[in-house]
Chains A and B, each alone.
Chain A
Amino acid sequence: MKQTSDFEDKNGQPSTKDVATFDARIEYIKNSFVNTEDLLMLPVSYNSRKGFVIYIATISDSEKIQESILFPLIKFGELNAADIPYTAETQDKITLQESVKALLKGNAVVIFNGLDEIFSFNTMKEISRNLKEPDSEKTVRGSHVGFVENLSTNIGLIRKGIESRHLKINYHQIGEYTNTQIALVYIEGICNPALVKRLEERIQTLSIDMTFSPGYLEELLEDQPFSPFPHLLYTERPDRAIAQLMEGRIILLSEGSSDALALPVSFFSFFQTSDDYNTRIITGSFFRFLRVVCFLLSLLLPSLYIAVIGFHFEIIPKEILVLVKSSVENIPFPPLIEAMVMAFTIELIREAGIRLPTPIGQTIGIVGGLIIGDAIVSAGLVSNIMVIVIALTAISSFTVASYEMSNTVRILTFPIMLSAATFGFAGIIFSLMFIVGHLCKLESLGTPYFTPIAPFNLQGMKDAIIRFPIWLLKDRPRELHVKNKKRLNQPRRWEKNEK
């Protein structure tokens, strides 16, 4: 009786007679897990008390259970809350309800008949792989470490990079069934607190049964899900995540995913890579510039070609006019169809190759690229200049540093091609006006997306289209309204000293 009342007092929960007794507790746990068969119960007896070590076999490490529970039980005489032998893994006294959650995390729970404390031991099985370079974001220089699918490892990687007590991590659980843990990482004192508040409000009001990937989070959290442009920056690289944190952005990590989400980001974040800062200033700037140019190129090249061939061939220089003319002379289709067929083929090759094992993927690339390309020209279905145009477009779309952005570009090409085939240059301009207008409208967590161009920000331009020297990037991005605006005070002070 006494035990029951204690139980009541501690938790303030309605007590039922069923839960009060030892058997009832065991039954409760069993029922909570709908009698799943990987819930194991090791009967132990200790000091003549009967008890159970309960754990879910599939997510608990049996070695850890032996080491931290079974051995001490045999070794020591008394199992008091205070006397429980401390192993490296933590252990807690928890309530019955909490024990269910603990079990789900991979903990082992120990219940004894006649003791109202329930002990929980961290015996989680580390389901993780080694750190290796992410395939989607390779760099030439710099760190070659990537995030893994384990949340605590990932946070650890960030903590290693920012050894500061200001680094703050807020945990949230999302998914009524999956209970996925996500971590909101930011630096207190740099990050704009209003942003954090806004994001946390959004996260807390999410009500969904599951999330298993950041893609879910992205769609649930972003302002305009129908926009073709990505609002959140995915990265698998800790160094990139750290750089984003230091600029005052928030990083979202979730258990089971090796992607970190940075937000809020602007359009030009998608053109930055870690390599930019690891190469020399001029080359770094050149590569950045190249990427922006490639973005425009892949957006506009096919439609420009269509417009020129179909509407304004006056523009072709006289030196190559005859060449172009003879190339398109015997093509049966209008240029739009031609371009659509080719662009569609490229998309096919990409989509077919992307999920296949690497050797087969390469074969697909060769078959698709070389054989189809060659055959389609010699069959006279598509002009060879169109093949060049579409191939250039595809390659330059892959130059864009972010996978999401390069997909965006290729999707946007189609409507522009359509309007170019209907109105020529005027059509291209009208669709560009829509796109730029859309970019001006976009806001991610209240920060304008197309900055530093619109709204214009000279400081921001230093790291947008070209990369200025590191010692000139003195301020953090202004659109984030960070608390600590200055990034550097006196870099290269030695110059003064040496004079």
Chain B
Amino acid sequence: MRNIIKRFIVLTTIPFLLSGCWDQRLLKEQKLILLIGYDKGHNGKIISNTDYPISKGVQNNSASTTKSTILTTEGETALDTLLHADLNISEKIDISKAQVVLFGEEMARQGLYKELDHIYRNPKGALGAKVAIIEGKARDAVRIKQEEANLNGQYYDEYLKSGEATGFFTNYNVQSVCPLLLKHTKDPLLPLLKISPERHRARSIGMALFNNEKMTGKLNVSESKMFLLLNGEKKQKVSFLLNTNNQDSQKEFIVIEILNNRQKTKLSVKNEAVTSILSSKLQYRITEYPKDQLTNPILLKKLNKTIQKRLTKKAEKTIAKLQAANCDGFGIEEEIRVHHHQLWKEKYKNADIKNIPIKAKLDLELINSGIIN
């Protein structure tokens, strides 16, 4: 009896295995899109530039060569452009392994969420893809003829990764930027790149400021670094070039590297008005000081003061830029919501960051000046 049952089960299972493979999508039958760039087209249309590798076959056991191929399509929505792309490609397109999503500046000024929506919705969507803004057209960025990596997708992936490590950019990816695009209490800042076609390179020129999902301004590179410091990023080792002479005309440069950063956001409430103070305790070392030897402690103290002054100035400028762009990158509103919930409900819900005074307070401490004095 038992054997009959077993045989029955086996016999009924076999048809499944034969008729199956409903969800199969073979790797060899997909074109993997590694890089997508979105640009604004005419009449509210979207132009997407996709980059995918095609391999040139294996020859005599040597590693096969792959090269980037680029396809430009136009459509009504982001996914529509990809569906159009599918019409042009011999195999199926697949965006589940996208590594970088680029946006042209014009596109970014209109908002990002619309274009990312299909990635969020897709169970196979690439949430780990990095997001960056291109000053100019994303098309040029995708079509770049760089020589540093095999594929353009890899190039931007590595590019952004190293940028994060050296402290130019925040490290947002498609997923981690999502709450900020939707939420009203904190805003994202995304890497901003510029393409120089004649030199076949991309160049980071700072960060793009956002108010919710719309791009509203730009920071340059040193301001971006400052923003990261004020925002309390710890992993990144940020370097600054400063002029230590009090007169701007004279050039006495110094390069410092921030080693430790202890950041705190304080809110002080007076008459139902919030003032925010971003205080940072920074420990730094001197990595270059071409002018002189640093043997004199009094000189060091003076130097420290100058550096502090310069950095604070820079911080204020950065904050002013953020406020001008109405970009709450520090999450001030969030702090208010958390610590002064009632006040937030009454007054500061969706408040403009412009109207909240933000002060920067930097404390600098020299740790060492390298292995020479």
Of B23, B60, B96, B124, which is in contact with the most chain A CB atoms at under 10 Å from its CB?
A: B23
| Pair B28/A329 contact, Cβ less than 8 Å | yes
- Say whether A76 faces chain B, with CB atoms less than 8 Å apart: no
**Binding-face segment, A137-145, A281-289, A416-424:** A416-424
Q: Which residue of A lies closest to B32 (CB)?
A: A325
**Binding-face segment, B13-21, B73-81, B180-188:** B13-21
**Binding-face segment, A6-14, A24-32, A246-254, A306-314:** A306-314
Q: Which one of A311, A329, A422 contacts B55 once the chains associate, using CB atoms below 8 Å?
A: A329
- Say whether B61 faces chain A, with CB atoms less than 8 Å apart: yes
Chain A positions within 8 Å of B6 at CB level: 226
**Binding-face segment, A187-195, A197-205, A316-324, A470-478:** A316-324
| Pair B27/A324 contact, Cβ less than 8 Å | yes
Q: Which of B282-311 contact A (CB under 8 A)?
A: none
- Say whether B368 faces chain A, with CB atoms less than 8 Å apart: no
- Say whether B26 faces chain A, with CB atoms less than 8 Å apart: yes
CA distance A326 to B32 in the complex (A): 11
| Pair A325/B55 contact, Cβ less than 8 Å | yes
| Pair B124/A314 contact, Cβ less than 8 Å | yes
Q: What's the dominant secondary structure at chain B's contact region? A: loop
Min CB–CB distance B132 → chain A (angstroms): 16
Q: Which one of B21, B34, B58 contacts A421 once the chains associate, using CB atoms below 8 Å?
A: B21
Q: Which one of B23, B25, B126, B157 contacts A423 once the chains associate, using CB atoms below 8 Å?
A: B23
Q: Which residue of A lies closest to B28 (CB)?
A: A328
Q: Which of A302-358 contact B (CB under 8 A)?
A: 309-311, 313-314, 316, 318, 321-331, 334-335
Chain A interface extent, by class? 20 to 34
CA distance A211 to B256 in the complex (A): 87
| Pair A325/B28 contact, Cβ less than 8 Å | yes
Q: Which one of B28, B34, B63, B66 contacts A331 once the chains associate, using CB atoms below 8 Å?
A: B28
Q: Which one of B25, B27, B124, B150 contacts A325 once the chains associate, using CB atoms below 8 Å?
A: B27
- Say whether A156 faces chain B, with CB atoms less than 8 Å apart: no
| Pair B26/A314 contact, Cβ less than 8 Å | no
Given A325-B55, A330-B57, does the pair A422, B16 have CB atoms closer than 8 Å? yes
Q: Which one of B26, B32, B60, B64 contacts A321 once the chains associate, using CB atoms below 8 Å?
A: B32
Chain B positions within 8 Å of A328 at CB level: 26-28
| Pair B25/A310 contact, Cβ less than 8 Å | yes
Given A322-B66, A325-B55, does the pair A313, B30 have CB atoms closer than 8 Å? yes
Of B21, B60, B151, which is in contact with the most chain A CB atoms at under 10 Å from its CB?
A: B21
CA distance A226 to B7 in the complex (A): 12
| Pair B24/A310 contact, Cβ less than 8 Å | yes
Chain A positions within 8 Å of B21 at CB level: 310, 421-422
Min CB–CB distance A387 → chain B (angstroms): 12
- Say whether B191 faces chain A, with CB atoms less than 8 Å apart: no
Chain B positions within 8 Å of A322 at CB level: 32, 53, 55, 66, 150-151, 154
| Pair A309/B27 contact, Cβ less than 8 Å | yes
Chain B positions within 8 Å of A324 at CB level: 27
Give the A-B contact count at a CB cut-off of 8 A.
Answer: 83
CA distance A334 to B20 in the complex (A): 13
Chain A positions within 8 Å of B26 at CB level: 309-310, 328, 334-335
Q: Which residue of A lies closest to B98 (CB)?
A: A318
- Say whether B99 faces chain A, with CB atoms less than 8 Å apart: yes
Binary CB contact string for chain A from 369 to 403 against chain B (1 if under 8 A, 0 otherwise): 00000000110100010000000000000000000
CA distance A477 to B96 in the complex (A): 50
CA distance A329 to B28 in the complex (A): 5
Chain B positions within 8 Å of A311 at CB level: 23-25
CA distance A378 to B60 in the complex (A): 7
CA distance A318 to B97 in the complex (A): 7
Binary CB contact string for chain B from 119 to 133 against chain A (1 if under 8 A, 0 otherwise): 000001010000000
CA distance A17 to B150 in the complex (A): 103
Of A226, A418, A422, A424, which is in contact with the most chain B CB atoms at under 10 Å from its CB?
A: A422
Chain B positions within 8 Å of A325 at CB level: 27-28, 32, 53, 55, 66
Of B21, B27, B64, which is in contact with the most chain A CB atoms at under 10 Å from its CB?
A: B27
Binary CB contact string for chain B from 91 to 112 against chain A (1 if under 8 A, 0 otherwise): 0000011010000000000000
| Pair B20/A423 contact, Cβ less than 8 Å | yes
CA distance A31 to B17 in the complex (A): 62
Chain A positions within 8 Å of B17 at CB level: 418-419, 422
Q: Which one of B23, B24, B58, B157 contacts A326 once the chains associate, using CB atoms below 8 Å?
A: B58
| Pair A318/B60 contact, Cβ less than 8 Å | no
Min CB–CB distance B63 → chain A (angstroms): 8
| Pair A313/B97 contact, Cβ less than 8 Å | yes
Q: Which residue of A lies closest to B153 (CB)?
A: A318
Chain B positions within 8 Å of A421 at CB level: 20-21, 24
Of A327, A329, A384, which is in contact with the most chain B CB atoms at under 10 Å from its CB?
A: A329
Chain A positions within 8 Å of B157 at CB level: 318
Q: Which one of B16, B58, B150 contacts A327 once the chains associate, using CB atoms below 8 Å?
A: B58
Min CB–CB distance B51 → chain A (angstroms): 12
CA distance A129 to B124 in the complex (A): 65
Q: Which one of A309, A314, A334 contacts B96 once the chains associate, using CB atoms below 8 Å?
A: A314
Min CB–CB distance A427 → chain B (angstroms): 9
Q: Which of A88-108 contact B (CB under 8 A)?
A: none
Q: Which residue of A lies closest to B129 (CB)?
A: A318
Q: Which of B123-159 contact A (CB under 8 A)?
A: 124, 126, 150-151, 154, 157
| Pair B126/A314 contact, Cβ less than 8 Å | yes
CA distance A325 to B55 in the complex (A): 8
Binary CB contact string for chain B from 41 to 61 against chain A (1 if under 8 A, 0 otherwise): 000000000000101011011
CA distance A310 to B24 in the complex (A): 6
Q: Which residue of A lies closest to B91 (CB)?
A: A329
Min CB–CB distance B176 → chain A (angstroms): 17
| Pair B61/A377 contact, Cβ less than 8 Å | yes
Q: Which residue of B lies closest to A422 (CB)?
A: B20
Chain B positions within 8 Å of A313 at CB level: 25, 27, 30, 96-97
Given A313-B30, A321-B32, A421-B21, does the pair A329, B97 have CB atoms closer than 8 Å? no
CA distance A335 to B27 in the complex (A): 10
A→B interface (CB under 8 Å): 226, 309-311, 313-314, 316, 318, 321-331, 334-335, 377-378, 380, 384, 418-419, 421-424
7 smallest CB-CB distances across A and B, nearest first, come from A326-B55, A422-B20, A326-B64, A313-B27, A328-B28, A314-B96, A309-B27
Q: A328-B28, A331-B28 are in contact. List 6 more A-B contacts (CB 8 A).
A: A309-B27, A314-B97, A325-B66, A326-B64, A334-B24, A422-B16
Name 18 interchain pairs, CB-CB below 8 A, sorted by A.
A309-B28, A310-B24, A313-B27, A314-B124, A318-B154, A318-B157, A321-B32, A321-B97, A322-B53, A322-B150, A325-B27, A327-B58, A328-B26, A328-B28, A329-B64, A330-B58, A334-B26, A423-B23
